Structure 1
Amino acid sequence: MSSQTVQTALSAATPDCPECGGTLDCSGRETHCKNCGLVTDQDQIDRRPAWRTYDQEEQQRTGAPRTATRHDRGLSTNIGSVDSADISPRRRRRLARQRWLHGRAKFDSKRDRNLAHGFGEIRRIASALSESNAVKEQASTLFREAQDKNLLIGRSIEGGAAAAVYAACRCNGLVTMETVADVARCSDSHIWNCYRTFLTELDLPIPVSLPVDWVTRICSDLPFDIAPNIRKRALELAEQATESAEINGRPDGIAAGALYLAGRESDTRLTQAKISETVDLHTKTIRLWFQHIEKHMVE
């Protein structure tokens, strides 16, 4: 498609002047009539996609989409490295210097630099946990809100990033603090401290974790299939434990104890060691909850 054809199509789509019926010029920041000079629109923002070709079959959007996982929403650019033999050493050193200065100029303040460091830590932890992009964006949003409310003052950035990932995972599914702490660059006490602050100040919509939910996850994560009757019996024991006043504690331990008791009742070789490897619990914890459930729930 030639440029003359494109200009003709644009002219045909442009409305006429409401005063004199002349042609409107939309090439600048304002729309005005070429005959009488009437300004019909100003400070226009073109919100359409930016195409790099006029051919409709080859139209492609330029630039990366906006994302909450970057301190600048992903709008900044990078100066890439060029490994070409045609560039002289002096030119190569100059490009390296410009690349370094460009990287420094991305941050307007120390808050932006800390925000970028925290977002990088969030992406690293979420990738290590194989979480989706939605969890990364939600964790980044929580981290940004925490910084805007000055909740990170006196706390480490690594702890705040890990707490944001843990909160986002809790909002979308089941996860333990030990799992997040294993890939974080701080202790679990720092993560708990930041998480409790986020939970109080940000009003996080975190659902209550129930033993029934953990029974389903443990059965799915085991390296072998669980019989339907064992799964059904484990769910019944978990529901009874939830309604019971004598059994109250961590839901994953109760679910593991209920699953082990259900396997033991059906004479299935489901060991405590195999369950502990799946749910990341100690065998003593599973044994403790198994004994509690057997004492109070089984007649």
Structure 2
Amino acid sequence: MSQDSEKDSQFSSSPCPQDKIIFDAERGEYICTETGEVIEERAIDQGPEWRAFTPEEKEKRSRVGGPLNQTIHDRGLSTLIDWKDKDAMGRTLDPRRRLEALRWRKWQIRARIQSSIDRNLAQAMNELERIGNLLSLPKSVKDEAALIYRKAVEKGLVRGRSIESVVAAAIYAACRRMKIARTLDEISQYTKANRKEVARCYRLLLRELDVEVPVSDSKDYVTRIGSLLRLSGAVMKTAAEILDKAKTVGLTAGKDPAGLAAAAIYIAALQNDDRRTQKEIAQVAGVTEVTVRNRYKELINELKIQIPTQ
């Protein structure tokens, strides 16, 4: 609710017109400019105690910290003593001061991580950052995965399970929610846990946390596969149109979206004379050549697609 609407609802019973009521910040009073009546006194000003007349002055006087970072175990609220051996003026510290600063850093790190939950989150966030960087995931996906993992910790779902498995499952769930094309096999290969364990943890997160995950769309894989193969935009557009037609006739139900996208890209590349082999596409998509070949035959037969002669 805005300040004007709050004032209107607060002084609706006053005989003074609403547009004639002003606030005296020095006295903390609401005054009617027509009659001079003090309508309310000792009002609390919710704004800052300073004044600014330009945007630059307002930004300079504002006292706010950095935004919360979900991928840090304490969300970035605590301070961090750096390893630099210089003071605030840029002067090099003498050896005695340097050792003293190292002791401060050691105790500050110990103070940040006190409980078992803090230790768990610190290890999990490091693992999440590592896997996210290897998969080239955007920050929004890593933040979403961190939120899912925190909910799992609060519910006690991590106890008795591998931290790596739960982190990988949270990343996969975040990728599905944000429509980032990453398969379970891709995520599992960067962890010590196998695919079966990560899939088990993923199903657990969906069941216990009520995480809503949309159905995987094969079109989400087209852009990624096409960019890795350095295909033109026309090829990727044609592949997306083929998948739309396949979805209309019900060909995509129960099929691996990555395999369908790979087959559509293979057909689109042939139609646009930008040929790639089934082996190349299968390797990039993370599926077998047999899958690409079977989906290719289904698409051209059911959709009556004409393939140019080689």
TM-score by length of 1: 0.72
Q: 1:195 offset after TM fit, Å? A: 0.9
Task: String of CA shifts for 1:239-289, please: whole Å, max 9, x gaps.
Answer: 336634697321110221233245446765331123224323232321232
- From 118, 124, 134, give the equivalent of 1:118: 124
Per-residue CA shift, 1:51-101, capped at 9, x if unaligned?
9xx965744655322222222221101122242586443433332222111
**Deviation at residue 131 of structure 1 after TM alignment:** 2.2
The equivalent position to 1:256 in structure 2, one of 257, 262, 280, is 262
SS across alignment from 1:105 = helix
From 273, 281, 287, the equivalent of 1:275 is 281
Instruction: Please name the residue that 1:182 is paired with.
Output: 189
SS in 2 for 1:252: helix
User: Which SS does the other structure have where 2:151 is aligned?
Assistant: helix
Distance across 1 between alignment mates of 2:70 and 2:252: 45
How many Å separate the matches in 1 of 2:227 and 2:141?
21
Following the alignment from structure 1 to structure 2, what is the Cα–Cα distance between the partners of residues 170 and 271? 28
The residue aligned with 1:154 is 160
Q: Is the 8 A contact 1:166 1:180 kept in 2?
A: yes
8 Å CA contact retained: 2:128, 2:142 = yes
Percentage of pairs with the same residue: 34
What amino acid is the match of 1:287?
A: R
Q: Give the letter aligned to residue 83 of structure 2.
A: S
Partner of 2:177: 171
> 1:120, CA displacement in angstroms?
2.0
Q: Which residue of 2 aligns with 1:142?
A: 148
Q: Say if 1:146 and 1:202, in contact at 8 Å, map to a contact too.
A: yes
Offset of 1:201 from its aligned partner?
A: 1.2
Contact 1:257 1:290 in 2 (8 A): yes
Pairs aligned (count): 263
CA distance 1:41–1:160, shift in 2 (3 Å): farther
Report deviation, 1:185.
4.5
Change (3 A) 1:262 1:70: closer
Q: CA RMSD in A?
A: 3.7
**1:257/1:287 contact within 8 Å kept:** yes
Give, as a single letter, the amino acid of the residue that structure 1 aligns with 2:104: Q
Residues 209 and 251 in structure 1, CA contact (< 8 A), matched pair in contact too: yes
Does the 8 A contact of 2:149 with 2:170 survive in 1?
yes
Between the aligned partners of 2:28 and 2:230, the Cα distance in structure 1 is 70
Q: Secondary structure at the match of 1:117?
A: helix
Post-superposition offset of 1:144: 0.5
Paired position in structure 1 for 2:291: 285
Runs (5+) with no aligned partner, structure 2: 1-23, 31-41, 306-310
Pick which of 180-189 and 241-250 moved more: 241-250
Give the Cα–Cα distance (whole angstroms) in 2 for the partners of residues 155 and 57 of structure 1. 47
How far did 1:200 drift? 1.2
Task: Report the Cα distance in structure 1 between the residues aligned to 2:193 and 2:226, rounded to whole angstroms.
Answer: 31
Matches within 5 A, 1:1-299: 13-16=25-28, 56=58, 58-59=60-61, 61=63, 63-84=65-86, 87-173=93-179, 174-215=181-222, 217-225=224-232, 227=234, 231-232=237-238, 235-236=241-242, 239-240=245-246, 243-244=249-250, 248-264=254-270, 269-294=275-300, 297-298=303-304
Q: Is the 1:171–1:207 Cα contact (8 Å) retained in structure 2?
A: yes
**Partners of 1:279 and 1:48 in 2: how far apart?**
58
1:166-221 Cα shifts (integer Å, max 9, x gaps): 11111111221122223334332332121111111112221112334434553454
What is the DSSP-based 3-state SS (H/G/I as helix, E as strand, rest coil) of the residue aligned with 1:153? coil
Flag the 1:95–1:202 CA change in 2: closer, same or farther, 3 A. same
Structure 1 residues not aligned, in runs of 5+ = 1-11, 19-39
Q: What TM-score results when the alignment is normalised by the length of structure 2? A: 0.70
Contact 2:85 2:98 in 1 (8 A): no
